[in-house]
Structure 1
Amino acid sequence: MSRPSLDANAWRVIIARLISRTGGEAGFFVGVWGTAAYALDATPGSLALLMAAMSVASMIGAAVAGVLVDRFDPRRVLIASEVVFVPAILTLTTVGSMAEMTVRAPLVWLVGSIGVTAITAFPPALAADEDRVARTNTLMEAAGTIAFVLGPALGALTVRLVDLPAVFVLDAATSVVAVLLLVPVRVRRVEARERGTGLAELRAGFRYAYRSRAIVLILALGSLTWLSFGAFGALEPLFYRDVLGTGPEALGYLNSVFGVGLFLGAFTLDRNALRATNLRTVVVLTAACGIGALIYVGTSSLVVVAVGAVVWGVLLGALMPLLRTLLHLHTGEGYVGRVSGVYLVHKSVGELAPLAVAPALAALFGVQRVLLASGVLLLVLAPTAWRRASRLDGERPVRPLADRGLAERVEDLEERVPLA
């Protein structure tokens, strides 16, 4: 069966994601991490505090954005977030201490997380059938992974040619270009629904997500992956500085190598989407990501780190769009924004939780050993979900088709997932 073609609207969104995320990756890996670790002499504790504050801000932004997306559509929310992001990111050009960075960066990430939620919820707004939803998710991931390659490398080049603050200017410029691309985009109209208060709609989104056994499993496996990532968020710059003995440029270049792996993983999923779109594949990929992480941080050799970056990247590049596609296919229209918000809240919580203990563990056992333990966590725990994934794959999924009414979809879900 041939892969479905995408229209101009989808390609505009994909290209906008590529450009905006290129600046975002440069701004985070080289801008925020580079400034913190090398210009501001961050300690494990101060870096963990920064990452914790950014994660909390992202969690709040994702929850709020889910309601906004379901009310106004992902296009409007994404454009608004990109516009506000420009002056926000420019405030980081004048940061002079870790205290200032810890106050300003979370505010920037609050705005950015609204855009991330909107882009996460975009595919069902562009296409009604699941094959196009899956392909749009995969190509968005591919665009994001190309950005992961280009962003850190472009950030490192910007540091070499100009200075660290110029990386934040680059990030702002890419958001402006993204807005220009998004303005002509048109999204599908979804059925009107009665609106409640913002808080009531937010609660309804969480309730909808937690009533679905499939969505709960997707959230659990995603959270497990993000828990592993949380340790890297606190300690990876220090791994480069203290274990590998490299500077900020190596941090950028090797993360670009990681991005090559992400692209290859997304490309592989795109070629095999019909066979791979199931929960059992998610379980296998989640466990395999643990192996990739172990290779990545298992030695002090830059060559082995580069190999590990590619292997880990391939696995994650396939896993991330698959998680989002399955999330969309198990979510009815009218709830995609809020369920996407729940998904990203879990992402933020998963990344945040290790920050409470990672610095202390690193002080006791060393940075490298703590990162190795995060890989073991995935490898050991993910396979325990295999039986549940197999059962759910055997059930009929809730498909977000345009010709099914919202009430019918909710009734179908409640019949399959009783509350008592």
Structure 2
Amino acid sequence: MTVAPSSGDVFRSAFRHRAFALFWFARVCSMLALQMQVVAVGWQVYDLTGNPLDLGLVGLFQFLPTLALALVAGHVVDSHDRKGVLLGALSVELVAIAALLTMTLAGALAPLAIFCIVALIGAAKSFEGPANQAILSATVPVEDLPNAVAWHSSGVQVALISGPALGGLLYIAGPAAVYGASTVMMLLSVTLILAMRPRPVTMTKRAMSLTNMLAGAAFIRSRPEILGAISLDLFAVLLGGATALLPIYARDVLHVGPWGLGLLRSAPALGALITAVCITRWGVRRHAGRWMLIAVAGFGAATIAFGLSADPVLSFAALFAVGATDQISVFVRQTLVQLSTPDDMRGRVGAVASLFIGASNQLGEFESGALAAALGVVPAVVLGGVGAVGLAAAWAWRFPALRRIDRLSSLR
């Protein structure tokens, strides 16, 4: 890592653009809303059933709509007004969270209803993901894009830190308090996107053919370094993700309750935020591919440490390291995709990337829950961490183009 301009210069380079500032704050608000409701949903489901598999099913029900709609979503984003698509997706998420609030107040929120509502959120996120990725590049000039990516990641991590902690704190007053706050934050996000004016992008109406919908996947396959980066992130988080099991650790292993669950969920985001701020200050200017591979191996090692810990402080530190190492991987991957993708393909490429991210997060939650039900929670987490370390070594051999990436700025 080499020295970049002062933090004030870096800040101004992205936030001097009104469209980016509005987009950033809208993104933070929507992520806050989603993260707060995740804490409430996880605690409610485990409290209602006491079954680790049901925690995994929450992730599975969010992922299945993404799997079904990813190619359609990418085509829609590249063929229609991207701001309109994003507004529609956020509006659906607003309705879904409001439904959680209404049913909780009515005392009618059962596990099946939760699964259906999170599936609706998953369907909306399948459009939100590629729309967000496509719009980001239209909020700043290309020379400010790496800074925008870093600050965008920082904003997401702010929400990932404060959202779970706030959700856990509000849960003391009951799940309705969490869902109510989430509804307000999502409404604010919709309002900010309405006020945003991204740079106009010429949209081409395309027939919804299989060839057009698969164009994003074909582009990624033609670029080994992009395929390697996205697939490494997919399988590492798929195997090493332990967030779905945090309610079990909070209640049965660490005995810290819902407030402690919020802090545990915030720990990876805190590590990621500090790392993201360091990246905006110093950058990842040389050997970016190697940094990504090393970071994934560190992610696996930190996951193993968390799995074996029975001490809340050590567990928090291990999760902090999980987030810090993952953020390096995320930054390299996102910058690589943003700088390498043609404007007219951002939706379709973003849809494939979102599918990979959804698979790693939501499907990873199902994998973790199923494995914990079969082997026990500690062996499931430790085995996943070992798998992530092995993947970093395997991908270094399988994707030499990824390993050889040096300066990200040379990809413009």
Please say whether Structure 1 and Structure 2 have the same fold, judged by a TM-score greater than 0.5. Answer: yes
CA-CA distance at 1:397 after TM superposition: 8.3
Q: 1:92 to 1:361 in 2, by over 3 A?
A: same
Q: 1:74 to 1:400 in 2, by over 3 A?
A: farther
The answer for the alignment partner of 1:34 in structure 2 is 43
Counterpart selection for 2:67 from 41, 59, 79: 59
Deviations 1:181-205 (CA, angstroms, capped at 9, x unpaired):
2223222233454512264431222
CA-CA distance at 1:5 after TM superposition: 0.6
Tell whether the 8 Å contact from 1:61 to 1:111 is kept in structure 2 after alignment. no
Counterpart selection for 2:26 from 12, 16, 40: 16
Tell whether the 8 Å contact from 2:83 to 2:131 is kept in structure 1 after alignment. yes
Q: 1:388 to 1:135 in 2, by over 3 A?
A: farther
The answer for the alignment partner of 1:125 in structure 2 is 138
Q: 1:202 to 1:306 in 2, by over 3 A?
A: same
Counterpart selection for 2:100 from 67, 89, 92: 92
Q: 1:192 to 1:364 in 2, by over 3 A?
A: closer
Counterpart selection for 1:203 from 208, 214, 232: 214
1:3-402 equivalences under 5 Å are 3=10, 5-6=13-14, 7-28=17-38, 30-38=39-47, 40-93=48-101, 94=103, 95-129=108-142, 131-160=143-172, 162-193=173-204, 195-197=206-208, 199-230=210-241, 232-275=242-285, 278-351=288-361, 353-354=363-364, 358-359=368-369, 361-387=371-397, 390-392=400-402, 393=404
Tell whether the 8 Å contact from 1:56 to 1:348 is kept in structure 2 after alignment. no
Deviations 1:95-148 (CA, angstroms, capped at 9, x unpaired):
53212222222112211342233223332222342x422111111111111111
Deviations 1:353-383 (CA, angstroms, capped at 9, x unpaired):
5566544542443201110111111112212
Tell whether the 8 Å contact from 1:240 to 1:247 is kept in structure 2 after alignment. yes
> Take 1:263 and 1:358, find their aligned partners in 2: how far apart are those partners?
25
Q: 1:15 to 1:295 in 2, by over 3 A?
A: same
CA-CA distance at 1:164 after TM superposition: 0.6
> Take 2:65 and 2:287, find their aligned partners in 1: how far apart are those partners?
32
The AA in structure 2 aligned to 1:311 is A
Identity of aligned residues (%): 23
The AA in structure 2 aligned to 1:249 is W
Tell whether the 8 Å contact from 2:46 to 2:52 is kept in structure 1 after alignment. no
> Take 1:398 and 1:140, find their aligned partners in 2: how far apart are those partners?
18
SS of equivalent residue, structure 1 residue 125? coil
The answer for the alignment partner of 1:405 in structure 2 is none
Gaps of 5+ in 1: 402-420
TM-score, normalised by the number of residues in structure 1: 0.86
Of the structure 1 ranges 12-21 and 200-209, higher mean CA displacement relative to structure 2 is found in 200-209
> Take 2:408 and 2:273, find their aligned partners in 1: how far apart are those partners?
28
Of the structure 1 ranges 64-73 and 5-14, higher mean CA displacement relative to structure 2 is found in 64-73
Deviations 1:252-299 (CA, angstroms, capped at 9, x unpaired):
122223322121011122123251573222211111111221222221
> Take 1:218 and 1:352, find their aligned partners in 2: how far apart are those partners?
19
Q: 1:347 to 1:243 in 2, by over 3 A?
A: same
Of the structure 1 ranges 360-369 and 83-92, higher mean CA displacement relative to structure 2 is found in 360-369
> Take 1:43 and 1:177, find their aligned partners in 2: how far apart are those partners?
35
Structural RMSD (CA): 2.6
> Take 1:55 and 1:229, find their aligned partners in 2: how far apart are those partners?
17
CA-CA distance at 1:310 after TM superposition: 1.7
Tell whether the 8 Å contact from 1:67 to 1:201 is kept in structure 2 after alignment. yes
The answer for the alignment partner of 1:409 in structure 2 is none
Deviations 1:366-412 (CA, angstroms, capped at 9, x unpaired):
201110111111112212222565545469989886xxxxxxxxxxx
The AA in structure 1 aligned to 2:190 is V
> Take 1:51 and 1:368, find their aligned partners in 2: how far apart are those partners?
19
SS of equivalent residue, structure 1 residue 275? coil
Tell whether the 8 Å contact from 2:299 to 2:322 is kept in structure 1 after alignment. yes
Q: 1:138 to 1:198 in 2, by over 3 A?
A: farther
The AA in structure 2 aligned to 1:331 is T
> Take 1:261 and 1:357, find their aligned partners in 2: how far apart are those partners?
24
> Take 1:327 and 1:21, find their aligned partners in 2: how far apart are those partners?
21
Deviations 1:25-80 (CA, angstroms, capped at 9, x unpaired):
1111x221111112x13412222223211111233344433222212343222222
